[in-house]
Amino acid sequence: MIAQAAKELGTKIIVFSASSVGGVIAPRVAVKLNAGILSDTNALPKIENGQIVLNKSVFSGKANATFTLTGEFNVISVRPNTVKPAEIGAPVPVETLNLSAQDTDFRAIAEAILKTSDKVSLTEADIVVSGGRGLKGPENFYLVEELAEVLGAAVGASRAVVDAGWRPHSQQVGQTGKTVSPTMYIAIGISGAIQHLAGMGTSKVIVAINKDPEAPIFKVADYGIVGDAFEVVPALTKAIKAYKQKIG
């Protein structure tokens, strides 16, 4: 129906969120429209010299490429939290379209949706708390888990701790792990290697807790706490718990 609407309205650019839902729908719409697709961008397209261009970071954030969108239709998916919401302006007109779906449009039908766990999904979470080698051992990850729990956050990890077998690969954030772009990313005992930043650098607010003031993570952090995670994290968890109790 989105593809039908785009054809009917002559929509040149169709924008999706680079979420799991957007990731499933955007390529299907692109196929139906015979359109090119630019996925996982961190900007919206703009007009330059009469052409529609879009910047996208490539090679794990090491370079920036500019793409020109020349298709009749162009599908893009934008990472959450990378584009500032527009100021509220005049309401846009709402048009009603008559669209129809055929049985053949539903090639795969979900017969049952089973909830596998109550934990927050890492790639969809609004807050992610990740731990790294600074936690010294798997037995200390309870610090990350407790903080994540009071915040309703998902737990992530650096590759160093995944390679060491402290955490499962499904929790790895970075170039060879998951890409996340939450509203808040808290990195605990993570140095901030470029490969880690590739997976979380577009988060809206980055908080770093590290005992080394020179750690590269502080270059990208909006808030930094220079200190020992074993002291800072329990104090933070306690303070958030107390605050939550206070506000009910």
Please give the residues from 187 up to 226 whose contact with ligand FAD meets the rule CB under 6 A: 189-191, 193, 195-196, 199, 209-212, 215
Compute the distance between CA of residue 244 and CA of residue 133 in angstroms, rounded to an integer: 29
Using CB under 6 A, pick the residue from 22, 45, 80, 177 that binds ligand FAD.
Answer: 177
CB of 147 to ligand FAD, least distance (A): 13
Closest distance of CB 177 from ligand FAD, Å: 4
Structure tokens at 1: 């129906």
Q: At its nearest, how many Å lie between ligand FAD and the CB of residue 232?
A: 7
Are residues 171 and 149 in contact, defined by beta-carbon separation less than 8 angstroms?
no
Helix, strand and coil percent figures for the chain, each rounded to 5: 30, 25, 45
Of 30 and 221, which CB lies nearer to ligand FAD in the complex structure? 221
Tell me: does residue 123 bind ligand FAD (CB under 6 A): no
161 near ligand FAD, judged by CB under 6 A: yes
Give the residue from 14, 9, 7 showing the smallest Cα distance to 96. Answer: 9
Alpha-carbon separation of residue 228 from 93, 183, 211, 234, 237 (angstroms): 54, 24, 5, 10, 14
82 binds ligand FAD (CB under 6 A): no
> Which residues of the shown chain bind ligand FAD in the complex (CB under 6 A)?
132-134, 158-161, 172-177, 189-191, 193, 195-196, 199, 209-212, 215, 228-230
